[in-house]
Amino acid sequence: MKRRLITFDWAIKRILRDKANFDILEGFLSELLHEDITIVDILESESNKDSRFDKSSKVDLLAKDSAGTLILVEVQYEKELDFFHRILHGSSRLITQYLKEGDLYGSVKKVVTVSIVYFELGIGEDYLYQGTTQFKGVHKKDILRLTKAQQKLFGLNAIEEIFPENYIIRTGKFDEHGEMEDLFDEWVYFLKTGEIKDVFSAKSIISAKKRLDVLSLDEEERMAYDAYIENLRYERSLVESALFEGMEKGMEKGMEKGVEAGKIEDAKNMLEDGLTPQKVMRYTGLSAEKIEELQRSLKSE
């Protein structure tokens, strides 16, 4: 029997903020970024101050690693057409929020955003996207690089290491039945299915399986978690219902327009065949004004 695991968004709300569980987040980020990440603190940003306690389907967690990099992990269920703008706003806000007055520009913190989305975001076939900033020559097509002095001063190798780095995980595009490309796929498998297999070997993923077991929650926490999941289902149901109703109304309007177009075409044919306007009105149900308009149209053709 499969054990029921806590969803990653709930873990972000409650469990991963506890220092004792930093290793779970460290494992997830280490496999994503292909380097060992050590979380030293969970910080407060304007966007996540209330996310630990609210019932929203979008949650985030802001961490700082041992290198001082700010890492914003966000989970989003409902579709937002301006989500890319939101990523830009979030990273820009972090840069300004953690740059103290009087600090030199070289003190700007490196920002990494990780967006886990459960809706169709953009057009693309992959489930994992990375966005960085490079400066490419318009004419020579070369990539602008740091000087040796800049590398030494800032401890960086490339210009893109200065700018925000953005990752988007589109869970819906992940094939949970296919082969794993790398160890990070084991984490994506968990994000999509809520299951962690015993054979998985990604960093800290087995620890996550043990500590994210719903049965490990105390009664109060389990009730809060069940209420959160129920609220999430309710929110998604409302969105789906609104979309369905919108489609139905659109179809009804489309059918009405189709019927109206058919009546107009029939009326034109009747008028061309010499039927009187009165008979055309009776057969089609169109108004006298519409029949007159059609007559004028036919005369001008």
Whether residue 53 is predicted with pLDDT greater than 50 in this model: the reply is no
* Mean pLDDT on 203-207: 94
Q: Is the pLDDT of residue 140 over 90?
A: yes
Does residue 65 carry a pLDDT above 70?
Answer: yes
Q: How confident is the model at residue 223 (pLDDT cuts 50, 70, 90)?
A: confident
pLDDT of 52: 45
**Higher-scoring residue by pLDDT: 54, 142:** 142
Residue-level pLDDT at 251: 57
Please report, in angstroms and rounded to a whole number, the separation of the first and last CA atoms in the chain.
75
Is the confidence at residue 103, as pLDDT, over 90? Answer: no
Res 169 pLDDT > 80: yes
Residue 241 pLDDT: 65
pLDDT tens digit sequence for 241-272: 665 666 666 556 656 667 677 788 888 888 88
With pLDDT > 70 as the criterion, what percentage of the chain qualifies?
A: 85
223 — phi, psi (to 5°)? -65, -40
pLDDT on residue 235: 66
The larger pLDDT score, comparing residue 145 to residue 8, is at: 145
